[in-house]
Amino acid sequence: MRINAIIVDDHVLFAEGLIALLNEVNEPNVEVIHVSHDGEDIFRWLSRRRVHLIFLDLNLGKVNGLDLIEPIKKQSPETRIIIVSGYSDGNLVKTAFLNGADGYVLKGSPLEELRQGILTVMEDNTFMGKGVQVTAKCADKGSKDRHAYRQTRSMDAYALMNDLTKREQQILELITQAYSNKEIARKLFISDQTVSVHRKNIMRKLGVSNTVSLVKVAQSLSISG
């Protein structure tokens, strides 16, 4: 059986390298029918061609790969999705699978692992690369370990923002615009005590201890536009 596949990755060289690797695999027979650099055009392909497998990166610049998983599955439930990412953060891995991903492989994994991943998901099973399993367990440790782990990511914008909930991201954006807790509470129709709790959680997740540092970090992540 020939597997029609799409690669979604904003790095041209990586996509070309992945195609070259897949060409070395005799079984299964994977043919890359399209490469998308932002994921926005894949739904047109899903509507006109039978796509068996999608290799999906998470950080696609303006597009979050995590947000593409559910719409892909909704339009084409039979299409398998393997995340191929440099991010091994436990929260990202968990979210990817909860959203409907079938496999997760780290970039740089050996070809045999990728081959096993393809075979596994095409048999309607889930697959997690070895490096992902180890790091995901480490990421679930206590707060001190999580803080150290976060530091090793060098304040990576994509990974840090995905540590925040949608509500926390919303509140952080308003904080960078100099709104007070009471003003934020009025805008979001919640209590200022709730805003205060969210603010503390945001500061903890981003590893800062005061509002000035919080705003600086948020600006470095381009939260305020």
Are residues 116 and 23 located together in one domain of the fold? yes
174 in Cβ contact with 184 (< 8 Å) = yes
DSSP letter assigned to residue 153: T
d(CA 32, CA 17): 12
Which two structure tokens, joined as six digits, stand for 88? 């091994």
Are residues 43 and 132 located together in one domain of the fold? yes
- Crossing angle, helix 166-176 and helix 181-188, to 10 degrees? 130
pLDDT tens digits, the chain, 225 residues: what are they? 799 999 999 999 999 999 999 988 878 899 999 999 988 899 999 999 999 999 999 988 778 899 999 999 999 999 999 999 988 878 788 889 989 999 999 998 899 999 999 999 999 999 998 877 544 444 443 444 444 444 444 446 666 777 788 898 899 989 989 899 999 999 999 998 999 898 888 888 887 888 888 888 777 665 544
Task: Work out how many domains the chain is built from and give that number.
Answer: 2
Are residues 19 and 84 located together in one domain of the fold? yes
Tell me the β-bridge partners of 55: 7, 82
Specify the CATH number for the domain of residue 193: 1.10.10.10
Question: Does residue 82 belong to any structural domain of this protein?
Answer: yes
Question: Does residue 208 belong to any structural domain of this protein?
Answer: yes
Q: What strands, in cross-sheet order, belong to the sheet with 80-85?
A: 29-36, 2-8, 53-56, 80-85, 103-106, 127-128
Q: Is the pTM of this model over 0.85?
A: no
- Give the E-state strand segments of 22-78 in sequence order: 29-36, 53-56, 59-60, 63-64
Is residue 158 left, alpha or beta, with left meaning phi > 0 and alpha meaning psi from -120 to 50?
Answer: alpha
Q: Domain of residue 8: give its range.
A: 2-137
3-state DSSP assignment of residue 1: coil
Specify the CATH number for the domain of residue 103: 3.40.50.2300
